[in-house]
Amino acid sequence: MAVPKSRWSKARSHRSRSNWKVAAPTLTECPKCHQLMQPHRACKACGFYQGREVVKVGEAQ
């Protein structure tokens, strides 16, 4: 089994992990209801995608 030859310092570990960031999701405006939505996905507010209703969105009961 492979074993590391020497231990990484804290600075080297932190420098290595500095690029592991959480990116904010890209949001676009829905052309039908003008709510923010993720691109290439159906709108959560109105259920439309590319001009067609693909998800039925009902009123809260």
Domain locations in the chain? Answer: 25-49
Q: How far is CA 17 from CA 7, 11, 14, 47, in A?
A: 16, 10, 5, 39
pLDDT reading at 3 higher than 60: yes
First to last CA, the chain: 59
In this structure, are residues 41 and 50 in contact, taking their beta carbons and an 8 Å threshold? no
- pLDDT level of residue 61 (50, 70, 90 thresholds): low
pTM equals 0.59
Q: Tell me, what's the pLDDT at 59?
A: 63
Q: Tell me, what's the pLDDT at 58?
A: 78
What is the spatial distance between Cα 17 and Cα 29, in angstroms, rounded to a whole number? Answer: 33
Q: What is the pLDDT of residues 19-56, one digit of tens each?
A: 999 999 999 999 999 999 999 999 999 999 999 999 88
